[in-house]
Amino acid sequence: MSKILQNVDSRTNLVGQNRLELLMFRLLSNQTFAINVFKVQEVLTLPKLTSMPGANPVVIGVIYLRGRPLPVIDLSLAVGGGAQKVDATSNIIVTEYNSTVQAFLVTGIRRIVNLNWEEILPVPSGSGTNHYLTAVSRFEDELIEIIDVEKVLAEVQPFKMEVSEGIVDESLRAQLQNKEVLVIDDSATARTQVLTIMKSLGLKVHLATNGLEGLNMLKGWLDEGVDIYEKLLLVVTDAEMPTMDGYRLTTEIRSDSRMSDLFVALHTSLSGNFNEAMVKKVGCNAFLSKFEPDVLAKLVQDRMRNLDAEP
């Protein structure tokens, strides 16, 4: 089954072109769910499973894969469904998010599809806040629901949301209170964390849920005659987002002379080595992993210090 991910390296060429590939799978029912291929390390038949007493109820056990223990999460249970069958034919998807590796139990692997981010749409308004989706799409007249894995993982092992004591430089607070930041992310969990960090630093925060929405906000301010460099200390953007991803957003910012020098930080749960290469390709100023509040707070404060030092 791991052959489904052969030649994954060739898929890196999709990024920066506002394209992605989704691994489609099912959870008990015939409904199709998906996650981005770039977060998938491999797809396997479930190895021997060892129980984990006291673990979160959605963690059905641990496997040993190439000498390392990995928790196995029943993805159906995690998103509010029923428990899936566990036997020698069960499928798992091994993923990496925010430098952590885990396996998700699924009912059946479908296929990989190549789509344009413009075909990935936000979850319809009126869906509430309790769902586990970041976006939806259609492929061959079939609805695809894209799982908000960050929300799932935050509920299994809550992320640190606040900045540690001693990280905030109080001498910068007065300057920071006069600055604003644009935060762009399709995950409500990630937006909440970044909002908490920015407010603890005294910054005013503008929120957008995808790259196109963020780009339109920037262009709207410019069209109103706003000095964008005076207004915004930086833009913090996710990489994967419906309609327009963070790579394309950065490219659009760099190509507009009115805002081409904006400081853009790519804030993502995708693997570090891959993103560092993409940062250079599209022109981001910084890359950092999600759910590391101290690192983000230090980046913001360093940006303020550097701005003060500019002639």
What pTM was computed for the model? 0.81
Q: Which of 30, 130, 127, 26 is nearest to 80 (CA)?
A: 130
Q: Mark whether 135 and 260 lie in a shared domain.
A: no
Tell me if 74 is assigned to some domain: yes
Tell me if 129 is assigned to some domain: yes
Length of the chain: 311
Q: Are 105 and 74 in contact (CB under 8 A)?
A: yes
| pLDDT of amino acid 45 | 94
Q: Mark whether 232 and 262 lie in a shared domain.
A: yes
Q: Mark whether 135 and 175 lie in a shared domain.
A: no
* 90-121: pLDDT as tens digits: 999 999 887 789 999 999 999 999 888 888 88
Q: Which residues of the chain fall below pLDDT 70?
A: 1-18, 128, 270-279, 310-311
Structural domains in the chain (count) = 2
Tell me if 164 is assigned to some domain: no
Structural domain ending residue among the three candidates 101, 124, 156: 156
Is the four-CA dihedral 132, 78, 267, 287 of positive or negative sign?
negative
Q: Mark whether 198 and 301 lie in a shared domain.
A: yes
- The angle subtended at Cα 183 by Cα 180 and Cα 185, nearest 5°, is 175
Tell me if 292 is assigned to some domain: yes
Q: Mark whether 141 and 185 lie in a shared domain.
A: no
* 74-86: pLDDT as tens digits: 999 999 999 999 9
Structural domain ending residue among the three candidates 124, 156, 188: 156
Q: Mark whether 85 and 148 lie in a shared domain.
A: yes
CATH number assigned to the domain comprising residue 276: 3.40.50.2300
How many alpha carbons lie under 13 Å from residue 2 in its C-beta half-sphere?
7
| pLDDT of amino acid 67 | 87
| pLDDT of amino acid 288 | 86
- Domain of 248? 170-309
